[in-house]
Structure 1
Amino acid sequence: MDRVRKVAELLTALDQLCDTGFALAIHIRFTRPLLLYQSYAQEWSDFYSENGLMLTDPVVRWGIENTGVLIWDDPALDDPAGVVALARQHGLQNGVTISTGPRTSRTISGHTRSTGPFTADEIGRLKCLVATLHEVTEGLDALDCPEMDELRALDLSRA
């Protein structure tokens, strides 16, 4: 099975678990992801970008500094800019962040859904999907190769 088709299948599986969306930054190197996918509502994506929230997003900071799982409702989460509360106001509830890979090539994802908190089994499934996406895309370095163009062009509504 080719890499593009495998990534599309994994993104579809993530999307099925996250009815209000997800964001996935794959192989972050020097603060930029090699690939970025998101299925959050456009209104939230625009608001997040226009207000530069990535710079103060505590779940992004956590994902860069740690690997594992973070539940957005964790009372220990330091969020002085109120990014998680803003996300909730935009319909992003029950958030979970997953971070995997070495600091030099980290993959970070955020997942939300409307139907209640993710169960431990569902979080395990999300972790597995994110880890597999990280592994499947390992070794992609040529930013302008045809395979990268195909991976960037994946449309989550059709993945």
Structure 2
Amino acid sequence: MNRVRKVSELLSALGELCDTGFALAIHIRYTRPLLLYQNYSREWSDFYSENGLMLADPVVRWGLENTGVLLWDDPDLDDPAGVVELARNHGLRNGVTIATGPRTSRTITGHTRSAGAFAADEIERLRCLVETVHAVTGGLENPDSPDLAALRTLDFSRR
């Protein structure tokens, strides 16, 4: 199965688990992801961008510093700018962040849904999907790669 089709299938599977959206920053090198997919609401995406929230987002900071799973309602999450509460106010609840890969090529993801907190087996499913996306998209350093160009055209945004 080719890489593009596989990533498309994995993103579709994530979409089925995350009815209010997900975001994947894949293979972050320095401060920039090789690939970025998100399908949160346009309202939230615009608000997040217009207000530069990535710089204050505690789950992004956590993902750059750690690997594993973080629940957005973790009482130890340091969020002085209130980004998680702002997300909740925009309908993004029950959030889970998953970070995988080495610091030099980290993948950080966020997943939300309306139907209540993700159960342990659902979080494990999300983790497996994210780790597979990370693995399948590995080795795409060449900016002229046809696979990379095709992966950048995949669109999972909400209409």
**TM-score strictly above 0.5:** yes
Which whole-Å deviations, capped at 9, do the CAs of 1:13-55 have from their partners, x for residues lacking one? 0000000000000000010000000010011000000000000
Q: C-alpha distance in 1, partners of 2:65/2:84?
A: 18
Q: Where does residue 8 of structure 2 map in the other structure?
A: 8
Q: Where does residue 69 of structure 1 map in the other structure?
A: 69
Q: C-alpha distance in 1, partners of 2:145/2:102?
A: 24
TM-score with structure 2 setting the length: 0.97
Q: Where does residue 101 of structure 1 map in the other structure?
A: 101
RMSD: 1.1
Q: Where does residue 121 of structure 1 map in the other structure?
A: 121
Q: Which 4+ runs in 1 deviate beyond 4 A?
A: none
Q: Where does residue 150 of structure 2 map in the other structure?
A: 150
Q: Where does residue 25 of structure 1 map in the other structure?
A: 25
Q: C-alpha distance in 1, partners of 2:48/2:68?
A: 24
Which whole-Å deviations, capped at 9, do the CAs of 1:94-122 have from their partners, x for residues lacking one? 00000000010000000000000000000
After TM superposition, give the deviation of residue 145 of structure 1 in Å. Answer: 2.3
Distance 1:157 1:38, change over 3 A: closer
1:54 to 2:54 alignment:
yes
Q: 1:135 is matched by which residue type in structure 2?
A: A
